[in-house]
Amino acid sequence: MVHRYPDRALFLITDRCASYCRYCTRSRVVSGAGEQELQTDFDEAIAYLRDHTEIRDVLLSGGDPLLFSDDKLDALLTKLREIPHLEFLRIGTRVPIFLPQRITPKLCRMLQKHHPLWMSIHTNHPRELTIEVRDALAMLANHGVPLGNQSVLLAGVNDSVPVMKSLIHKLLRCRVRPYYLYQCDLIQGSSHLRTSVRKGIEIIEGLRGHTTGYAIPQFVIDAPGGGGKVPVNPGYVFFHDSEKVVFRNFEGRVFEYPEVLDRDLGMTLPILHEEAFTS
Ligand SMILES: *Cc1c(COP(=O)(O)O)cnc(C)c1O
């Protein structure tokens, strides 16, 4: 159990996946070939969640939770649903991509009993969205499972605006909302796949305003040393003080907008941006 954020917890329920990604953020733990062994004590984990009433959101991950049998997963979700303060459950999985035949009507009917249950899938390239994957995602969406996608920015794979645009447009057609775009973690053996942070910012800049807002993921860096996900965005604001904000739009046109005093505070603290005006 990783409880890093105030109101939500990451519950690692297995160390197995349908296939393994060499840039995986949990390479050390998964597949049984890593340095660490994942041993989940389910009774202890459930007791922890029951005791911590501030947790309202539990994210099942691993490994891949959909490698559990329907019955095993049903029993776990039922136990979680018995905890009254858990409002929201999610499953992080790459099974709809790597093993789409696992997404069966029986599995979907079981998941449907545990709503609100959301799912985060993981695709990096439009070619991963095959006909079989499209059908699996449609079955999940038809059973009311809201779908999000997480991508990892990979050099030579998806580090360009055209590839990313094609991926996110295909995802929307599959009723999947692009959620996060991750800077590739500092995983041993993955340096050839790593891009610059600048590249990620450039890609987001090439999407925002140029295509459907729903299609645009949030670019994040998972801060090393347990810092959590930090959003990294293109700079649109050139200047901001108590009187005005100066910003640009996606075409580079510059605008000035009046700042006001917030009634509740009676004053605003000036936020000064050092960035120079670039015409
Ligand atoms: C990513 C993550 C979450 C979920 O974060 P959201 O921004 O709410 O999707 C929760 N716990 C840990 C440890 C995580 O890494």
- Write the pLDDT tens digit of every residue in 260-269: 988 776 555 5
* Cβ of residue 16 lying under 6 Å from some atom of ligand 1: no
Distance of CA 215 to CAs 96, 168, 231, 249, Å?
Answer: 20, 6, 17, 18
How large a percentage of the chain has pLDDT more than 70? 95
Q: How many CB atoms lie within 10 A of CB 127?
A: 12
The residue extents of the domains of the chain are 8-235
pLDDT reported for residue 36: 84
The reported pLDDT for the residue numbered 33 is: 77
In this predicted structure, the answer to whether residue 271 has a pLDDT above a threshold of 70 is: no
pLDDT single digits (tens) 146-186? 999 999 999 999 999 999 999 999 999 999 999 999 999 99
Question: pTM above the 0.95 mark?
Answer: no
Confirm whether 94 is a catalytic residue: no
What is residue 266's predicted lDDT score, i.e. its pLDDT? 56
User: What is the rounded CA–CA span in Å between residue 279 and residue 273?
Assistant: 16
Q: Which atom of ligand 1 is nearest to the CA of 57?
A: 8
Q: Which of 48, 185, 199, 208 is catalytic?
A: 185
- For the Cβ of 8 lying below 6 angstroms from any atom of ligand 1, the answer is yes
Would residue 8 show up in a list of annotated catalytic residues for this protein? yes
- In the residue annotation, 71 being an active-site residue is answered as no
Closest CA to 60 of 91, 39, 87, 29: 91
Cα(268)–Cα(122) distance, rounded to whole angstroms?
Answer: 41
**Which one of 102, 222, 236, 248 is the catalytic residue?**
222
* Residue 222 CA, closest ligand 1 atom number: 15
Peptide bond into 116 cis (omega under 30): yes
DSSP string, 177-209: EEEEEEPPP--TT-GGG---HHHHHHHHHHHBT
For residue 45, name the pLDDT band (cuts at 50, 70, 90): very high
Q: Active-site residue 199, yes or no?
A: no
pLDDT digit string (tens) for 181-236?
999 999 988 999 999 999 999 999 999 999 999 999 999 999 998 899 999 999 99
- The catalytically annotated residue of 50, 79, 199, 229 is 229
The question of whether 4 is a catalytic residue gets the answer yes
Q: Tell me the per-residue pLDDT of 83-94, one tens digit each, with 9 for 90 and over.
A: 999 999 999 999
Who's near 76: CB < 8 A, 6+ residues apart?
Answer: 13, 42, 60, 68
Does the beta carbon of 4 sit less than 6 angstroms from any atom of ligand 1? yes
Give the integer Cα–Cα distance in Å for 95 and 31. Answer: 15
2 ligand 1 Cβ < 6 A: yes
The CATH code of the domain at 8-235 is 3.20.20.70
Return the H-helix or E-strand segment holding 2. Answer: strand 2-5
Beta bridge partners of 119: 91, 147
Phi, psi of 64 (to 5 degrees): -120, 115
Q: Is the pLDDT of residue 272 over 80?
A: no
Do the Cβ atoms of 48 and 1 come closer than 8 Å? yes
- Name the one residue in this structure whose structure tokens are 């990294």: 232
Q: Can you give the pLDDT at residue 28?
A: 85
Q: How far apart, in Å, are the Cα atoms of 166 and each of 29, 96, 149, 172, 187?
A: 32, 19, 14, 10, 27
